[in-house]
Structure 1
Amino acid sequence: MATTLKAVGIGQMFKPAAARPGESYGAPGTGRSTGISVVTVLTLFVLWWVATHAGWIKPLFLPAPEAILARFQKVLAEGFAGASLWEHAGASLARVFGAFALACVTAIPIGIAMGVNRVFRGIFDPPIEFYRPIPPLAYLPLTIIWFGIGETQKIILIYLAIFAPMALAARAGVRSVAIEQIHAAYSMGASRAQVVRNVILPAALPEILIGMRIGIGFGWTTLVAAEMVAATAGLGYMVLSASEFLVTEVVIMGILIIGAVAYLFDLGMRWLERRLVPWKGKV
């Protein structure tokens, strides 16, 4: 009896608080977590400001926030490394989102096919699992040999970084579908195409969206590597050019811009996820 009560007490101790109507447990960006995030960001900026103004870190290694803001205004007005800030940002966005769009129309269907058909899984699984752990810098020279040093090579390099996580996420989503749902659809006379469209795809959609979020993160990570060779504009190119001349303000500014754009896209994907799969986390 005492053991039972003790187990119940432990269960109650770790039982999550009841969510309000229409709110899922642990929903990002809601309630108390948003306040904690804001406090965390403000604390980091305060520590940054104190460390630079107290002389703990030399400006060469970490400039003060106002120095980066001043440099941002200067680059916005005059440009940097032969291009304006808008040209740098536009070139990078075109490369990353061009590769992302290409991955969406290829990786997701291939991942779904791998999940529903063992022949496709046998064909695509070995090469994807082989190259997935390889860092993009390792096959950067190969993409240059195959595709030259133009825009195609840069987009292909980013595309390869995005492709694997998106395809594997789509496959995992398909494999997570309950077999009872598929049998129920077949018992009601659904065809294979109808099962895939009306049962498998909706159930796999949460995993597919997560794969898209992870994939675009890999795309931004690969951007600097893609712009190392024969680039004349781009945020990664701007950061690399600034690092060669030890212009730390521009390096940090470029990193902050890349992070901000990636974070805004992630917020957009979260919004899309709430619209397309509103049941996620509530059932």
Structure 2
Amino acid sequence: MQNKKKNSSTNRLLTIGTWLAILIVWFTITKLGLVSPLVVPSPGAVFQTFLSILENGYNGRSLWAHLGISFYRLFVASLLAIVTAIPLGLLSGYFEKVRAIVDSIVQFYRPLPPLAYYVVLILWLGIDESSKITLLYLAAFAPIYVACVSAVTNINQDYILSAKSLGANERDVFFNVVFPASLPDIFTSIRTAIGMAYTTLVSAEMVAASSGIGWMVIDASRYLKSSVIFVGIIIMGITGVLIDLGLRALENKIVYWKGYQ
């Protein structure tokens, strides 16, 4: 236990040291003028831009409004992906006939770049929130589905056979053996899926949008506002880390037996 705590403290110091080193290199490069401020703004300029956006907003909208609409798109799409991909993935992994119907469709669109079918979604659903949320939904759906199928197919068959030998029917096996055994992989896939959806957010906000943290980065890039771009990227990175930490905490609470099975 003491070694574990010591390793945890060491790892935390290494993480802090890594980011301090990055900040020092960033500060040194900009202080010495090794690159143009249009390419890499100084940490001070980025911080001042952040304070300005925090106080005055960007393009007539507050920073919280940009974050709010982006998180609305992200969380609605992710929630829809979770409630549909998990049952479909588990069923596909457990029943081959379900997998024969669903799997080929997911495997067909999964490697496609989001922008490749975003135009089609706009034609079908319009330029409002529906097409954006659908794009993020598709980006989040595939990782969860694939992980669920893999989790079920990799379950130790002795668990299933033991349950059946004790009189459990297919329904009991699915809900009391298959689903709990798949939970660790399900949470890992949710973390991956939300990350995928977040990276797709910029694509979703590129077309016919006037708000959102991703749109703010795209709009700033058109006018070479590099400090605004850095602010947007840093905000997305920090909020992404916070979301992941929240999911990890939830996983540790629900799947408390992970690592002991």
TM bin, normalised by shorter chain, reads over 0.9
Unaligned runs of 5+ in 2: none
Q: RMSD across aligned C-alpha pairs, in angstroms?
A: 1.6
Distance in 2 (CA, whole Å) between partners of 1:34 and 1:142 is 45
Distance in 2 (CA, whole Å) between partners of 1:45 and 1:282 is 40
Structure 1 residues 94 and 117, CA gap change in structure 2 (3 angstroms): same
Distance in 1 (CA, whole Å) between partners of 2:224 and 2:122 is 28
Distance in 2 (CA, whole Å) between partners of 1:251 and 1:167 is 33
Distance in 1 (CA, whole Å) between partners of 2:10 and 2:260 is 19
Map residues 118-137 of structure 1 onto 2, 5 A cutoff.
Answer: 118-137=96-115
Secondary structure of 1:232's counterpart equals coil
Give the counterpart of 1:154 among 132, 136, 151. Answer: 132
How far did 1:37 drift? 1.0
Unaligned runs of 5+ in 1: 1-19
Number of the residue aligned with 1:272 = 250
Map residues 9-24 of structure 1 onto 2, 5 A cutoff.
Answer: 20=1
Give yes or no for the alignment of 1:182 onto 2:182.
no
How far did 1:176 drift? 1.6
Give the counterpart of 1:141 among 97, 119, 139. Answer: 119
Give yes or no for the alignment of 1:39 onto 2:17.
yes
Contact 1:242 1:250 in 2 (8 A): yes
How far did 1:211 drift? 0.5
How far did 1:281 drift? 3.2
How far did 1:123 drift? 0.6
Alignment coverage as a number of residue pairs: 260
- Select the structure of larger CA radius of gyration: 1
Number of the residue aligned with 2:77 = 99
Map residues 1-283 of structure 1 onto 2, 5 A cutoff.
Answer: 20=1, 30-282=8-260
Which deviations, in whole Å up to 9, do the C-alpha atoms of 1:157-204 show, x marking residues without a partner? 010111000101111111121100001111111121111111111110
TM-score between the two structures when normalised by the length of structure 1: 0.89
Distance in 2 (CA, whole Å) between partners of 1:205 and 1:23 is 25
Distance in 2 (CA, whole Å) between partners of 1:264 and 1:72 is 19
Which deviations, in whole Å up to 9, do the C-alpha atoms of 1:18-64 show, x marking residues without a partner? xx28969x9xxx33222211111111011101111011111110111
How far did 1:258 drift? 0.7
The structure that is helix-richer by fraction is: 2
Distance in 1 (CA, whole Å) between partners of 2:256 and 2:94 is 25
Number of the residue aligned with 1:5 = none
Percent of residue pairs bearing the same amino acid type:
42
Structure 1 residues 35 and 77, CA gap change in structure 2 (3 angstroms): same
TM-score between the two structures when normalised by the length of structure 2: 0.96
